[in-house]
Amino acid sequence: MPIDLSPIDKAKFVAAKRAAQFVESGMKVGLGTGSTAAWLVKCLGEMVREEGLRIKGVPTSTRTSILAREVGIDVITLDEAKWLDLTIDGADEFDPQLNLIKGGGGAHLQEKIVATASDQMIVITDASKSVETLGAFPLPIEVIPFGWQTTKSIVEEALIGMDVLGRDVTLRMNGDAPFVTDEGNHILDLHLKRIGNPRQLSFVVNQIPGVVENGLFLDVCDAVVIGYGDGRVEVRDIHEGTITEDKFDFLGDDNIFGDIAD
Ligand code: 5RP
């Protein structure tokens, strides 16, 4: 392992490595987006190349699709797959019920479609994403470019009646221009600080014309794999109510510690 890998990156790597153990030959697997998911894609690529793992991967973004092909994973579209055995993805926050905020990387629309079309969703993360109540991380909502300023005003108005602590809404930027998603849309980030009623918020926001999808993943995640910088891994399974622990050493993994296209 390169010595310059930060504890956070080590944590993300071991979470990904542990989650890769849930993947079996013959599976159709949803591949998440972000720096943690990139580790997963690299781990699976190594298993394909060196252990003969046979999987079909459905990427949740162009970035992930490029990386998956690079590491040797057989990539198909969701329409080709129709239904998936398992999706493994990162998250920006998770609460004790394993409800999530996603979309920090701007891919939550495709991520939600893919996760919803899966028998199981496993989140891989470091411990910093654990919260008691969702909302410290700004909630992303994907909006179509047409009339986005009007959509923003209606979202702001809707927030007045919501159980939240902050109500600032900002357009996500990429340098001087609005950020554009894979679907050609923009992202509004809702700085809510605390979301008292995620179900109500998700429902209300998604009713607003121009809003395509919000980044709340409620009752979608089945298990969270939490990695730590010292190689420890914790798996929390929502259905079985179990917490299991493992420890990984980093020896022998040097070949997958190249730069990650993310
Ligand atoms: C992308 C996402 C990511 O999963 C989320 O932002 C976490 O990313 P990272 O693993 O880089 O912290 O939702 O839309």
Residues 144 and 116 in one domain: no
Q: For atom 5 of ligand 1, which residue has the closest CA?
A: 91
pLDDT at 261: 41
pLDDT at 248: 87
Residues 235 and 113 in one domain: yes
Say if 252 falls within a structural domain. no
Residues 26 and 61 in one domain: yes
Say if 203 falls within a structural domain. yes
The CATH number of whichever domain residue 108 belongs to comes to 3.40.50.1360
How many Cβ atoms are within 10 Å of 120's Cβ, its own excluded?
16
Residues 96 and 44 in one domain: yes
111 belongs to the catalytic site: yes
Q: Which helix (H) or strand (E) holds 10?
A: helix 7-20
Quick one: which atom of ligand 1 is closest to the CA of 108?
Answer: 14
pLDDT at 145: 98
Residues 85 and 201 in one domain: no
Q: Which domain holds residue 56?
A: 7-129+219-247
Residues 125 and 147 in one domain: no
Residues 24 and 125 in one domain: yes
Q: Which residue among 213, 235, 256 closes a domain? A: 213
User: Predicted confidence band at 254 (pLDDT cuts at 50, 70, 90)?
Assistant: low
pLDDT averaged over every residue in the chain: 95
8 Å CB contact between 107 and 37: no
Our count of domains for the chain comes to: 2
Ligand 1 binding site (Cβ under 6 Å of any ligand atom): 32-37, 89-92, 102-108, 111
Residues 19 and 75 in one domain: yes
- The alpha carbon of 144 and the centre of ligand 1 are apart by a number of angstroms equal to 21
pLDDT for 160-212, tens place per residue? 989 999 999 999 999 999 999 999 999 999 999 999 999 999 999 999 999 99
- Give mean pLDDT, residues 79-95: 98
Residues 198 and 234 in one domain: no
Say if 11 falls within a structural domain. yes
Say if 1 falls within a structural domain. no
- The alpha carbon of 262 and the centre of ligand 1 are apart by a number of angstroms equal to 10
Nearest CA-CA partner of 138 in 61, 199, 194, 89: 194
Pick the catalytic residue: 24, 51, 70, 111?
111
Residues 120 and 42 in one domain: yes
| This prediction's pTM | 0.95
Residues 148 and 115 in one domain: no
Say if 257 falls within a structural domain. no
**DSSP states of 22-56 as a string?**
T--TT-EEEE--SHHHHHHHHHHHHHHHHH----E
Whether residue 262 is predicted with pLDDT greater than 50 in this model: the reply is no
Pocket perturbation via mutation, ligand 1, pick of 92, 112, 129, 220 by most ligand atoms within 8 A of CB? 92
Residues 115 and 224 in one domain: yes
CA–CA gap between residue 1 and residue 10 (Å, rounded): 9
pLDDT for 22-52, tens place per residue? 999 999 999 999 999 999 999 999 999 999 9
Pocket perturbation via mutation, ligand 1, pick of 33, 63, 64, 217 by most ligand atoms within 8 A of CB? 33
Say if 259 falls within a structural domain. no
The CATH number of whichever domain residue 207 belongs to comes to 3.30.70.260
pLDDT at 251: 57
